[in-house]
Structure 1
Amino acid sequence: MSAGLLAGKVVLVTGVVTTESIAYGVARRAGELGAQVVLTALDRDLERAREAARSLDVDTVLTYDVTRPGAGLELVEAVGERFGRLDAALHAIAFAPRAALSGSMLGVDPAQLEQAFRTSTVSYAELAEVLRRLSPPPGASLVGLDFDAAGAWSVYNWMGVCKAGLESLNRYLARDLGAIGIRSNLVAAGPVHTRAASGIPGFEELLDAWEQRSPLPWDPRDTEPVADSVCYLFSDLARAVTGEILHVDGGYHAMAGPLRGPGRG
């Protein structure tokens, strides 16, 4: 993508804690493309997020905890006071307790499931409201990170359900926000080695599946293809794209079965 594609835009990126994260890759690429980048983090992650921000030459890191009532309005005030506007936002927020990620779907504490759904799915609508309050005409771009929820995985379990909810919410937000020029899209990335991925029991099974089925080579340590796609959706090049799920997974989702493996070369 050409330099300056996001020039003049204020871009909010949530979920930057480590330099290995997809969110970090998005923040870096957005800055390279001319955006003024704002980061958010949980209180407990603030120092690490500030470290990451320094490596990006980003000056602003704001506290944002989607589980705390009123956090969205506080974020609106903080961004509005510093920048007066917001042109794009990345939702890179997800959480599920370990018990909800593997084994049986049955018997998981409902309170933990409510927390997972609130954090991973409902918060996308809250971030949409933040963007709605701060976006200037003719509109803005909201992008969320997804993991294809079209089928059941051998692992992922209740987080897969949360992502299915996120995909549905994305379509409804596209419906509601289109009239005011705000676009809502998701990027369904292949498996990437991140802090969140390290908490998924059986994550290596997903990597093995991509090794066998992805028609394009997939590097689980390279966040740049995902970051480039997010920045495309942030940009005016995607001005007529909304309600979409853009798969950046090496083509895995389009294949009906393994292409490689025992007996397949």
Structure 2
Amino acid sequence: MSGLLAGKRILVTGVLTDASIAFHAAKLAQEEGAEVILTGFGRLSLVQRIARRLPKEAPVIELDVQNREHLDTLAERVAEHLGEGVPLDGLVHSIAFAPQDALGGNFLQTEWESVSTAFEVSAYSLKSVTMALLPLLAPEDGSVEGRGASVVGLDFDAQVAWPKYDWMGVAKAALESTSRYLARDLGHQNIRCNLIAAGPLKSMAAKSIPGFEQLADVWDARAPIGWELTDPEPAGRGIVALLSDWFPKTTGEIVHVDGGVHMMGA
């Protein structure tokens, strides 16, 4: 078998529709030789239906990142699909949520309860899911030696304040910091942690952001190499690259896949 991810086992979270970046990351990972497992939240039957649209149908595991039992049993449930003693080589974190009152221009009025939910689901879960899977990413028997594992999260550039994005933007800033601290603390176990900062896409998640079109208009006007709002594949390719062995010493990094908007001035 050939391919960037030949022989690797990857867990991809956050697949909801075949228009999502997570779906395209899973599809490309399979095409590059990886075995893929998906997680789903809520409507598992929908995720299972989407899983059948992959080149090879992938198993689906239920995961609510706010459910302690789900996190405590995650490694065991993933291991059932990997086989005894088989490590996990990569994790794709594509999980984010903010209540409606934390978005859409309501920044000054949002209560802590909604803010804390956005932080827990969108930022802290990068740490909680990674640690839940640590027994598979860095097995205590030493089988990690010479192998390494990669954690890749999905970001939306948090260097600036975006229209309507409000507390989700702050949560993404927390995600970026969380990734750096994970990179620091897990590096000695040969686990890399990086983020892909993708431009906006017309996905299920985008539909939940009031004023999304206003945000998307920025890319139409400012992306020097252009940006297609309906094409998740460039971001999926970035994820696959970071999961691969081609970036063995890259960690704590944010790779922008946004048509270049992040570096443009006024």
* TM-score strictly above 0.5: yes
Are 2:95 and 1:87 aligned? no
Q: Which amino acid aligns with 1:168?
A: S
Offset of residue 3 of structure 1: 5.1
Aligned equivalents of 2:8, 2:43: Cα separation in 1: 26
Q: Which amino acid aligns with 1:105?
A: F
1:72 match: 71
1:120 match: 122
1:254 match: 263
2:18 match: 19
Choose 74-83 or 25-34, whichever is displaced more: 74-83
Q: Which amino acid aligns with 1:27?
A: A
Offset of residue 217 of structure 1: 1.2
Within a 5 Å distance, the mapping from 1:135-146 to structure 2 comes to 135=137, 136-137=143-144, 138-146=147-155
Q: Which amino acid aligns with 1:111?
A: E
What's the CA shift string for 1:137-172, capped at 9, x where partnerless? 132000000000001111100000000000011110
SS in 2 for 1:115: helix
Residue pair 1:87, 1:131 contacting (<8 A) in 2 also: no
Moved over 6 A (4+): none
SS in 2 for 1:79: helix
SS in 1 for 2:207: helix
Choose 124-133 or 92-101, whichever is displaced more: 124-133
Aligned equivalents of 1:79, 1:222: Cα separation in 2: 30
Cα–Cα, structure 1 residues 226 and 3, in superposed 2: closer, same or farther, change >3 Å? Answer: farther
1:216 match: 225
Offset of residue 231 of structure 1: 0.2
SS in 2 for 1:247: strand
Q: Percent identity?
A: 47
Cα–Cα, structure 1 residues 203 and 4, in superposed 2: closer, same or farther, change >3 Å? Answer: same
Are 2:108 and 1:99 aligned? no
SS in 1 for 2:133: helix
2:140 match: none
Structure 1 vs Structure 2 CA RMSD: 1.3
Within a 5 Å distance, the mapping from 1:1-265 to structure 2 comes to 4-42=3-41, 44-56=42-54, 57-83=56-82, 84-135=86-137, 136-137=143-144, 138-257=147-266
Aligned equivalents of 1:119, 1:220: Cα separation in 2: 25
Residue pair 1:38, 1:58 contacting (<8 A) in 2 also: no
Structure 2: which 5+ runs fail to align?
138-142
TM-score, scaled relative to structure 1 = 0.93
Q: Which amino acid aligns with 2:60?
A: V
SS in 2 for 1:242: coil
Aligned equivalents of 2:92, 2:253: Cα separation in 1: 15
Aligned equivalents of 1:88, 1:131: Cα separation in 2: 10
Aligned equivalents of 1:89, 1:236: Cα separation in 2: 14
TM-score, scaled relative to structure 2 = 0.93
How many pairs are equivalent?
Answer: 255
Choose 235-244 or 96-105, whichever is displaced more: 96-105
Aligned equivalents of 1:162, 1:110: Cα separation in 2: 13
Structure 1: which 5+ runs fail to align?
258-265
SS in 2 for 1:127: helix
Offset of residue 104 of structure 1: 3.2
Aligned equivalents of 2:72, 2:44: Cα separation in 1: 19
Offset of residue 105 of structure 1: 1.5
Aligned equivalents of 2:9, 2:72: Cα separation in 1: 18
Aligned equivalents of 2:256, 2:248: Cα separation in 1: 18
